[in-house]
Amino acid sequence: GSFNIEAEDVNEGLKNMVERLGEASLEGQGATFDAIKKLGLNLKELESLSTEDKFIAISDALSKVESTADWRG
């Protein structure tokens, strides 16, 4: 089936992503910080990217996680 996703929902999600990344960078700890580290991404490098490129980088890293066991372990 097709997805019925509102542009407003996408924008809100991207806004939340950017806020969480900012908080992780400032605090140097927390769930987002840990997740970015587990994905093998560099928070400082992510900060320098556009919002679109941040989303692409995170999506690409997530696509390489083979199972939830890999994620938790």
Give the pLDDT confidence of 6-60 residue by residue, as tens digits: 888 888 999 999 999 999 999 999 999 999 999 999 999 999 999 999 999 999 9
Rounded distance, CA 68 to CA 73, Å? 8
Rounded distance, CA 73 to CA 61, Å? 16
pLDDT at 69 over 70: no
Residue 18 and residue 51 in contact, taking contact as beta carbons nearer than 8 Å: yes
Residue 73: per-residue pLDDT: 53
pLDDT at 1 over 60: no
Residue 2: per-residue pLDDT: 61
Note the pTM of the prediction, 2 decimals: 0.77
Residue 34: per-residue pLDDT: 93
Residues 6+ apart with CB under 8 A from 49: 57
